[in-house]
Amino acid sequence: MNDRLRWIEPPPDASRATFAQDVRAGLEAQPPRLDCRYFYDAAGSELFEAICALEEYYLTRAETEILAEHAPTIAAGFRQPISLVELGSGSSRKTRLLIEALLAAHGSLRYVPVDISRTMLEATTRTLLADYPALEIVAVAAEYEQGLAAVRSVDDRPRLVLWLGSNVGNLHRDEAADFLRRVRDGLAEGDRLLVGIDLRKDRATLERAYDDSRGVTARFNLNLLARINRELGGDFDLAAFRHVARYDEVAGRVEMYLVSTREQMVRIRDLDLVRRFAAGEAIHTENSYKYSPAEIDRLAAAAGLRVEARFEFHESVPAGLVAAQAPGPGERVPPGSPVLLTISRGRAPTPTPVPPTPAPTPTPTPALAPDEVIVPDLIRLPEAEAMRRITASGLMTTYNNYQTVDQVAPEARAFFLSVPPGHVVSQIPAPGTRVKKGTRVHLAIRKE
Ligand code: TRP
């Protein structure tokens, strides 16, 4: 199996500061800061995976949906087997969608994941090789810059470079353009770059995504202090720092901080450093820049790139607009039937629960076309069973919404509470709708 796996581990760049040097410089600075590249040790990489699975962290869901929909088109843009280079590959979970499409299109593929967590890379390459017998992997355990240089030297095939996860947002806007320009300089005619960029959006959605209700993001941020304790003999009291995420609307960025909850002294043995923190003093740990469509154009132009295609995913409809209706448009229903509208709160679609519809009075309808199906009634079914029936009917599943009673319109609460947790409270399109095969069915599931 190992003839399909090669490792590249460039020696650490002697001109780059070490973790110890960066921590010292960051904590001696006023205001203090810590570099976000140090989030991703083994523990941090794992916590980040947990962030990606959070309901509030819509970014992973959006990218997955985009790749699920467009991977075949992206693959069809290349005529021969390519190298798929991924900057910051992490678990490579979303990338599987592209890997599968590229293998289907060309029969073989070289995947070149670049990641700073060697543990993460080892785990992912092992499972990818087992899952895809036609896949060859060149694993690069390095930071972006060194990784890119290494990639340039090994590779002769056409390339698709991936930079997902809104990682571009972790650089200042001008740094992002400079970095993309350097990536571009390493590309040949016909190579392509696919970048995941998060759009500017409302504050509530953003702040929730970076400060989730289960505190996973807080633990991820605090892991930076834990890492200093582990690797540099620090004595940070993790309970005395608080995770804060706030959106600066003018700058268009979510800023992350670790805020000292009291006056305290912190000692870092290996740095021979003692740092006093005032109550309320904040260590800046990360920015996540959001882009308007015009800012994306400017970024591409500044990097010397031409935008060939944009794939947008809008989970949210602006607040106050109708996000969905049941029965769906064009449906035949008896006169006087109720029409339920879901008014967007500007976030993930939270369809108003549709009460079970009484058996409709038969109306003559034209016969189903061969590519049409009738959406089954999934209301009150357990989630897994509903998902099974969606695929069994020739439709597609998607990410479901998990709702609590306070997310539901007052007039729908009694119905909502009559459905057991873990069961379907509403679906779009509504039961009985005739739709094209392959249509995605959104479910709302009662959470608790
Ligand atoms: N690239 C990710 C983003 O900007 C990184 C990230 C997600 C992150 N959640 C975070 C960084 C919380 C720090 C804290 O979305």
Q: Which pLDDT band holds residue 444 (cuts at 50, 70, 90)?
A: confident
> How many angstroms separate the alpha carbon of residue 98 from the centre of ligand 1?
23
> How many angstroms separate the alpha carbon of residue 167 from the centre of ligand 1?
8
Ligand 1 pocket check: which of 168, 173, 208, 217 to mutate, most ligand atoms within 8 Å of Cβ?
217
> How many angstroms separate the alpha carbon of residue 200 from the centre of ligand 1?
15
Q: Above 90 in pLDDT, residue 346?
A: no
286 lines ligand 1 (CB under 6 A): yes
> How many angstroms separate the alpha carbon of residue 51 from the centre of ligand 1?
9
Greater pLDDT, 57 or 349: 57
Q: Whose CA is nearest to atom 7 of ligand 1?
A: 210
Mean pLDDT for 274-287 is 98
Query: Per-residue DSSP letters for 132-197?
Result: -TTEEEEEEES-HHHHHHHHHHH--S-EEEEE-TTGGGGS-HHHHHHHHHHHHHTPPTT-EEEE--
Please state, in angstroms and as integers, the Cα–Cα distance from residue 342 to each residue in 86, 205, 257, 326, 358, following that order.
39, 18, 36, 8, 20
Mean pLDDT for 229-240 is 98
Q: Which pLDDT band holds residue 343 (cuts at 50, 70, 90)?
A: very low
User: What does the pLDDT read at residue 336?
Assistant: 55
> How many angstroms separate the alpha carbon of residue 215 from the centre of ligand 1?
14
> How many angstroms separate the alpha carbon of residue 210 from the centre of ligand 1?
7
Ligand 1 pocket check: which of 41, 60, 288, 291 to mutate, most ligand atoms within 8 Å of Cβ?
288
C-alpha–C-alpha distance, residues 162 and 330, integer Å? 40
Q: Above 50 in pLDDT, residue 13?
A: yes
Q: What is the DSSP letter of 70?
A: H
Q: Which pLDDT band holds residue 47 (cuts at 50, 70, 90)?
A: very high
Domains of the chain and any CATH numbers: 5-11+49-199+291-302 (3.40.50.150), 30-35+203-289 (no CATH), 372-446 (3.30.10.20)
Q: Calculate the average pLDDT of the chain.
A: 87
> How many angstroms separate the alpha carbon of residue 73 from the centre of ligand 1?
29
Q: Whose CA is nearest to atom 4 of ligand 1?
A: 288
Dihedral, CA of residue 48, residue 52, residue 56 and residue 62, to nearest 10: 140
> How many angstroms separate the alpha carbon of residue 142 from the centre of ligand 1?
19
> How many angstroms separate the alpha carbon of residue 403 from the centre of ligand 1?
24
Write out the two tokens for 255.
């800023």
Residue count of the chain: 448
Q: Above 50 in pLDDT, residue 345?
A: no
Q: Above 90 in pLDDT, residue 226?
A: yes
51 lines ligand 1 (CB under 6 A): yes
Write out the two tokens for 440.
């995605």
Phi, psi of 267, deg, nearest 5: -115, 135
221 lines ligand 1 (CB under 6 A): yes
Report H helices in 53-94: 58-76
Q: Whose CA is nearest to atom 5 of ligand 1?
A: 167
260 lines ligand 1 (CB under 6 A): no
pLDDT in tens, 288-299: 999 998 999 999
User: What does the pLDDT read at residue 337?
Assistant: 52
Q: Whose CA is nearest to atom 15 of ligand 1?
A: 166
Mean pLDDT for 254-279 is 98
Percent of the chain with pLDDT over 90: 59
pLDDT in tens, 65-96: 889 888 999 999 999 999 999 999 999 999 99
User: What does the pLDDT read at residue 440?
Assistant: 86
User: What does the pLDDT read at residue 315?
Assistant: 66
Residue pair 251/245 in contact (Cβ under 8 Å)? The answer is: no
pLDDT in tens, 135-150: 999 999 998 888 888 7
Residue 254 Cα: closest atom of ligand 1: 4
User: What does the pLDDT read at residue 256?
Assistant: 98
Q: Above 80 in pLDDT, residue 329?
A: no
Say which residue the tokens 């006087």 belong to: 336
Q: Above 50 in pLDDT, residue 324?
A: no
Picking from 138-142, 166-170, 251-255, 351-355, which range would have the lowest pLDDT averaged per residue?
351-355
User: What does the pLDDT read at residue 351?
Assistant: 44
User: What does the pLDDT read at residue 406?
Assistant: 80
Mean pLDDT for 178-184 is 93
Ligand 1 pocket check: which of 33, 46, 48 to mutate, most ligand atoms within 8 Å of Cβ?
48
User: What does the pLDDT read at residue 361?
Assistant: 55
C-alpha–C-alpha distance, residues 405 and 413, integer Å? 6
Task: Report residue 158 CA to chain centroid gap.
Answer: 26
pLDDT in tens, 103-128: 999 999 999 999 988 999 999 999 99
Greater pLDDT, 173 or 316: 173
> How many angstroms separate the alpha carbon of residue 432 from the centre of ligand 1?
41
165 lines ligand 1 (CB under 6 A): yes
288 lines ligand 1 (CB under 6 A): yes
pTM attached to this predicted model: 0.71
pLDDT in tens, 151-169: 777 667 899 999 999 999 9
Q: Which residue from 99, 332, 346, 44 is spatially nearest to 204, judged by alpha carbons?
A: 346
Mean pLDDT for 433-448 is 86
Mean pLDDT for 300-319 is 78
pLDDT in tens, 367-405: 788 888 888 889 888 898 899 899 898 998 877 788 888
